[in-house]
């Protein structure tokens, strides 16, 4: 599948027939999409034979790396043995049962029940419904407002996009829906001013309490947050933040939803972001790293009070997808967790390759464009600024982040630009030599970006 004629034909058909996610269709048609034909380890390969270092593990998801044949075989075996069955009408199957039990055992205590779905968005939509249902079951039907955060990302369905505080996600679709509001993100570098990170973490958390008091706790159903905000710009909370959020939710009887779609399955150097920050949520959203992105599957973990209420409701739960707990997806997820455990990939993310990645990324701090390098485990960010001392950003219309991203792309490195923050989230299987190569290319692309903006 590598040829120049192939590339042009695919690009033409792609431009004619395929509408891409989060893409300006006309701009892409003018330029032609890069055609990715295969992948192995941390490398993807395009139809012209270029090998590209994937610093993003796809979309923050290929935790065990590409080309893992054990996952392929687990899927193939399930396709042969039980290509489809569901758990709607008094049936189940070993794949879903075993995955549910496994997830209950590896997630923090209390998260003992699972509802399956197929994407992070669907899982978060499911949580919105289960939250409404929970408060209805409690006889408190007024408790319905959902609180998210500025720059939060929870998916694109009407509900999940409404939970998301990334403002560009709303206007095309007349969102958010009624009853969705946002509070501050713990974005110290961008918004902390003269406060210490500790002080700012408390301040950001207390914006939740202020909002709850303003709305009346009797009207507020739940708060949702990612342990580390991924798509919002790898916003790493100060240590003071999550304990204060936990206190506020408990004190005002608000359900706490932790979206682990990016942070789960080793990304932060522990199994879950909840383990890294000591959070005890009522709901946990899992997707991406659950199957290392090899096949669509997501899961909602239910904490004790929510799980007990729903399990003992004595009525039908009127919710579920044709593919909830799909046997092939469950088989791949089970094998994926087995590999993470057996190969100690989470421990390595926490103790060896993760610290090495952070250390090497840290070498970019001296670059004239770099204001902050931050990261935890196998997720990192390099924030570009016009002035280091005052943490002043470039004007957004200068497109400094996208320019840097384009240099990376031209130099066979995938890094995501979020505003002017360059982020990395590579497979947990990346080697030290590959980390060195990633950082070498990133450094070169920062130089190219500096040169380009100097000539504007
Ligand atoms: N929660 C979080 C925290 C996410 O990052 C979702 C939910 C939604 O998952 P699905 O499977 O419905 O996409 C996500 C997804 C990006 C990017 O460019 C990030 C995501 C998806 C696509 C692109 O950073 N995150």
Residue 120 Cβ contacting ligand 1 at under 6 Å: yes
261 lines ligand 1 (CB under 6 A): yes
Residue identified by tokens 């380009």 is: 452
Q: Is 262 in the pocket of ligand 1 (CB under 6 A)?
A: yes
Q: Which residues partner with 39 through β-bridges?
A: 44
d(CA 339, CA 196): 40
pLDDT at 236 over 80: yes
C-alpha distance from residue 311 to each of 137, 159, 298, 305, 318 (Å): 11, 24, 20, 10, 13
Per the rule left: phi > 0, alpha: psi between -120 and 50, beta: everything else, 377 is left
d(CA 96, CA 251): 36
- What is the reported pLDDT for 1? 60
Burial (0-12, 13-18, 19+ Cβ within 10 Å), 404: buried
Q: What is the mean pLDDT of the chain?
A: 98
Ligand 1 pocket: which of 231, 259, 323 to mutate (most atoms <8 Å of CB)? 231
Reply yes or no on whether the pLDDT at 244 is more than 90: yes
Task: Judge contact between 301 and 258, C-beta under 8 A.
Answer: no
Q: Is residue 154 in contact with ligand 1, taking CB distance under 6 Å?
A: yes
- pLDDT, tens digit, 9 for 90 and up, residues 68-85: 999 999 999 999 999 999
Average pLDDT over residues 321-331: 98
Distance 445 CA to ligand 1 centre (A): 26
How many CB atoms neighbour CB 418 within 10 A? 21
Digit-coded pLDDT (tens) for 60-69: 999 999 999 9
Residues 165-183: what's their mean pLDDT?
A: 98
From residue 448, give the alpha-carbon distance in Å to each of 34, 119, 369, 408, 437.
Answer: 21, 37, 11, 9, 17
Q: What pLDDT is attached to residue 60?
A: 98
* Among the listed residues 242, 246, 244, 264, the one whose alpha carbon sits nearest the alpha carbon of residue 254: 246
Pair 428, 62: CB distance under 8 Å: no
Neighbouring residues of 268: CB distance < 8 A, sequence distance ≥ 6:
227, 228, 275, 276, 349, 376, 377, 378, 379
Question: What average pLDDT does this structure show over 14-21?
Answer: 97
Atom of ligand 1 nearest to the CA of 229: 3
**Closest to 418 (Cα-Cα) out of 262, 269, 218:** 262
Q: What is the pLDDT of residues 404-428, one digit of tens each?
A: 999 999 999 999 999 999 999 999 9
| CA 288 / ligand 1 centre spacing (Å) | 8
Q: What is the pLDDT of residue 83?
A: 98
The two beta strands, 145-149 and 220-225, are: parallel
Q: Could you identify the residue written with the tokens 């999409």?
A: 33
Of all residues in the chain, the percent with pLDDT exceeding 70 is 99
- For residue 2, the model assigns a pLDDT of 59
Is the beta carbon of 267 within 6 A of some atom in ligand 1? no
Residue of 354, 326, 297 whose CA lies nearest to 88: 326
DSSP 232-261: TT-BPPPTTHHHHHHHHHHHTT-EEEEE-T
Question: pTM of this prediction?
Answer: 0.98
Angle at alpha carbon of residue 76, lines to 70 and 81, rounded to 5°? 125
Confidence band, pLDDT 50/70/90 cuts, at residue 5: confident
Whole-number Å distance between alpha carbons of 35 and 3: 10
Mean pLDDT of 370-387: 98
Residue nearest to atom 7 of ligand 1 (CA): 154
CA gap 128, 113 in Å, rounded: 17
For residues 411 and 394, give the distance between their C-alpha atoms in angstroms, rounded to a whole number: 23
Q: Backbone phi, then psi, for 224, in 5-degree steps? A: -125, 140
Mean pLDDT over 286-300 rounds to 99
DSSP, collapsed to helix, strand or coil, labels residue 114 as strand
Buried b (16+ CB within 10 A) or exposed e, 196-210: ebeebbbbbbebbbe
CA nearest 288: which of 280, 296, 278?
Answer: 296
Q: Ligand 1: which residue has its CA nearest to atom 15? A: 155
Percent of the chain with pLDDT over 90: 99
Residue 3 has pLDDT above 90, yes or no: no
CA of 426 to the centre of ligand 1 (A): 15
Q: How far apart are CA 60 and CA 424, in angstroms?
A: 9
Strand partners, 183: 149
Comparing C-alpha atoms, which of 376, 413, 418 is closest to residue 396? 418
CB-based burial label for 410 (10 Å; 0-12, 13-18, 19+): exposed
Distance 6 CA to ligand 1 centre (A): 30
- What string of DSSP letters covers 306-364? HHHHHHTS-S------TTTT-HHHHHHHHHHHHHHHHTTHHHHHHHTHHHHHHHHHHGG
């Amino acid at each position: 599948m590598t040829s120049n004629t192939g590339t042009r034909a695919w690009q033409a058909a792609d431009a004619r027939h395929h509408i891409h996610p989060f893409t300006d269709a006309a701009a892409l048609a003018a330029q032609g999409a890069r055609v990715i034909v295969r992948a192995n380890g941390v490398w993807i390969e395009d139809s012209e034979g270029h090998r590209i270092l994937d610093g993003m593990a796809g979309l923050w998801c290929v935790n065990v790396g590409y080309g893992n044949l054990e996952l392929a075989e687990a899927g193939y075996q399930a396709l042969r043995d039980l290509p489809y069955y569901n758990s709607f009408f008094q049936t189940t199957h070993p794949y879903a049962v075993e995955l549910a039990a496994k997830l209950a055992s590896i997630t923090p205590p209390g998260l003992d029940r699972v509802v399956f779905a197929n994407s992070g968005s669907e899982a978060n939509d499911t949580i919105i419904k289960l939250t409404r249902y929970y408060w209805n079951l409690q006889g408190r039907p007024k408790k319905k407002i959902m609180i998210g955060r500025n720059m939060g990302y929870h998916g694109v369905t009407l509900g999940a996009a409404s939970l998301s505080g990334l403002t560009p996600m709303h206007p095309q679709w007349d969102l958010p829906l009624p009853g969705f509001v946002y509070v501050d993100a713990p974005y110290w570098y961008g918004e902390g001013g003269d406060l210490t990170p500790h002080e700012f973490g408390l301040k950001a958390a207390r914006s939740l309490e202020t909002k709850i008091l303003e709305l009346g706790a009797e009207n507020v159903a739940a708060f949702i947050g990612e342990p580390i905000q991924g798509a919002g710009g790898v916003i790493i909370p100060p240590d003071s933040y999550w304990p204060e959020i936990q206190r506020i939710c408990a004190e005002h009887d608000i359900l706490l939803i932790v979206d682990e779609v990016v942070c789960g399955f080793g990304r932060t150097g522990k199994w879950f972001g909840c383990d890294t920050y000591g959070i005890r949520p009522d709901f946990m959203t899992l997707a991406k790293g659950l199957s290392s992105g090899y096949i669509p599957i997501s899961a909602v973990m239910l904490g004790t009070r929510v799980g007990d209420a729903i399990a003992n409701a004595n009525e039908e739960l009127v919710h579920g997808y044709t593919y909830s707990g799909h046997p092939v997806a469950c088989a791949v997820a089970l094998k994926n967790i087995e590999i993470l455990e057996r190969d100690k990939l989470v421990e390595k993310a926490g103790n060896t390759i993760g610290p090495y990645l952070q250390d090497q990324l840290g070498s970019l701090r001296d670059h004239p464009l770099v204001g902050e390098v931050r990261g935890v485990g196998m997720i990192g960010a390099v924030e570009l600024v016009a002035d280091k001392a005052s943490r002043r950003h470039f004007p957004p219309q200068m497109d400094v982040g996208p320019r840097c991203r384009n240099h990376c792309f031209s130099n066979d490195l995938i890094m995501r630009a979020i505003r002017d923050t360059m982020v990395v989230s590579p497979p947990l299987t990346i080697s030290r030599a590959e980390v060195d190569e990633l950082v070498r290319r990133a450094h070169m692309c920062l130089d190219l970006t500096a040169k380009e903006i100097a000539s504007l």
